[in-house]
Structure 1
Amino acid sequence: MATPKLGWVIYNGHLGGKKFLDFAEWIQRAAHANGMEMKIIKNNALLAIVGTDSSILIKEKELPDFVVFSDKDIPLAQQLEAMGVPLFNSSKSIAVCDNKILMYQALSEAGIRIPKTIIAPKIFPGTLPIQLETFAPAISELGFPVIIKEAFGSFGEQVYLVHNKAQLHQKITEIGTEPFVLQEYIQSSHGRDIRINVVGGKVVASMIRTSETDFRANVSRGGSMQQYTPNAKEAQLAIAAAAAVGTDFAGVDLLFGPEGEPLVCEVNSNAHIRSIYDCTGVDVSVPIISYIKEVLS
């Protein structure tokens, strides 16, 4: 009889709140149901040693056969991969999804439909004030209202809707030297989007999210959710987007385009799965573990 696979699910030990441990516990439960041993490990319990004998300082007696990496600690993910441990998702895909600039570039390179997006020039610390006239061509190209998205942010945070030049200049000044993009505002999708969970190139769950009070439909910002069956075009787009950024599993957010054509808002490599379970009854951890088991067999 084959020895059961040993897995780790890694989450960020410094973050408060239940939601980050919550995902790890669901993954652990699904793994145990599939005859796998799964340990929940905090990222700050693993200290990477870089050098001629690259390794990790850990209390565990043996390395896992695989890791479900539910954090954004990219150097730690890379270290584990360098030591020969398969990661789901890979360090590269997490890094791409974590940085919206890299994500939109990857989607665009793959021919995925996204809102028109302009990357703000890099600004080094200590070089303020920002030369706001730099953004005049972007205003001419995108018009108002316009979306500003910081490159790093989750749960709809660090995403802003601005209506005029004064608001734009104020927000850019507040952002300072953080990287960001300017993005076309999709009026037809105001306060609503579709979240599609893709695992192993297949749609496993989907919901529509709506907000009466915010241009963002995130449930964490008070949006409501309803079970939704994507049409063939929406499903194909979500699957293609998840593949374009290299994820094994992802939460793909789609916008309703002005002529009924879906657009990719973003791809989340570390999407939480409780909300979609509450909405649809689908426990996404189950297909995630089934997919990993199939890949490792």
Structure 2
Amino acid sequence: MSATPERPGDRRIAVLASRVGADEKRLFDAFDRRGVPFDHVDTRRQWFLAGQRDQPWSLALNREIGQVRAAYAARCLTAAGVDVVNSADATEVCGDKWRTTMALEAAGVPTPRTALGLTPQAALAALDSIGYPALIKPLVGSWGRLVVQLPDRAGAEGVLEYAAALPGPQSHLGYVQELIEKPDRDIRVIVVGGQVLGAVYRTGESLRTNVALGGQTRLCEVTPEIDKLALNAAAAVGADIAGVDLIEDRDGRLLVLEVNHRVEFSGFQSALADRVDVANHIVDHLLERAQR
């Protein structure tokens, strides 16, 4: 970590992560290969003094897995004059499914029909409008956790009755979405610094195709439509580094499901093999940001 840096000045890059997984190790190796000094900052042990601006870093890569810690860490570092990638705004938008949906809709990016009920009863009315089968998803969450398929109104009533009994007020909001009839796959596209690095198909044995849950990946050709949709989606949420998830409806039309600000890329990297080095592209982007 002490080699001569490729960027001006002698301040280091912070990599925020409470969990060091395969992707973080790839990033650490890429920093070392490039001779870029960095500090792994475990957010579980990090604290900030209000008004303090003398941080040892000029740039931070936010890899924190906990959404609340990621957002607050980004806010604190930004207030201290540190350039954070992804930005606090992008982290907060991507970390909330409804805010993501609103950003995509405002930018004209095609998405499944989606509604937010401010109470479980209102969510049930929204589902009557959208139609069944449908999905209900938590506003905050990853890896497809707590996503429930609702076959009909009776099933929705049961799920929403349970939601109404939960203590947290956010749990009473109903983020509901039409269920798209699609092939047994979705598409993950990785965008770094306004450039599409590639795309993969993800397949699984259930509704969820996340690689972390056992989903498989294979190469997907990046068509002009995929390229445009992914870039527009990343721009809509303000993310420099993004994992954009697309699905195909029964007519072959592509829709954007969500945009991930802390993109996991092990499965993507495995499918693309030597075609692209995601970690190296991320380091390239950080070095470009440091030059600005």
Instruction: Give the TM-score normalised by the residue count of structure 2.
Output: 0.87
SS at match of 2:135: strand
Report matched runs for 1:1-297 at 5 Å.
2-3=8-9, 6-12=12-18, 20-50=20-50, 53-54=51-52, 63-71=56-64, 72=67, 73=69, 74-121=71-118, 123=119, 132=121, 134-176=122-164, 177=169, 178=171, 179-189=173-183, 191-211=184-204, 213-281=205-273, 282-297=276-291
Deviations, residues 193-236 of structure 1 (Å, cap 9, x unaligned)? 0000001111112110112x312222223322111112110111
Deviations, residues 7-61 of structure 1 (Å, cap 9, x unaligned)? 1100125xxxxxx4433222222122222101111002211223xx3469xxxxx
What runs of 5+ residues in structure 2 fail to find an aligned partner?
A: none
Q: CA deviation at 1:135?
A: 3.7
1:203 and 1:66 mapped to 2: Cα distance? 23
> Are the counterparts in 1 of residues 60 and 84 from structure 2 also a CA contact under 8 Å?
yes
Q: CA deviation at 1:5?
A: 5.1
Q: CA deviation at 1:136?
A: 4.6
What runs of 5+ residues in structure 1 fail to find an aligned partner?
A: 14-19, 57-61, 124-129
Deviations, residues 82-129 of structure 1 (Å, cap 9, x unaligned)? 0000011111101110110111011111111000000121x5xxxxxx
* Amino acid in structure 2 at the alignment position of 1:70: R
Q: Identical aligned pairs, as a percentage?
A: 27
Between Structure 1 and Structure 2, which shows a larger proportion of helix residues? 2
Distance 1:279 1:174, change over 3 A: farther
* Amino acid in structure 2 at the alignment position of 1:240: N
> Are the counterparts in 1 of residues 27 and 279 from structure 2 also a CA contact under 8 Å?
yes
* Amino acid in structure 1 at the alignment position of 2:14: W
* Amino acid in structure 1 at the alignment position of 2:283: I
Instruction: Give the TM-score normalised by the residue count of structure 1.
Output: 0.86
Q: CA deviation at 1:169?
A: 1.4
Give the superposed CA RMSD.
1.9
Alignment: residue pair count: 273
1:17 maps to none
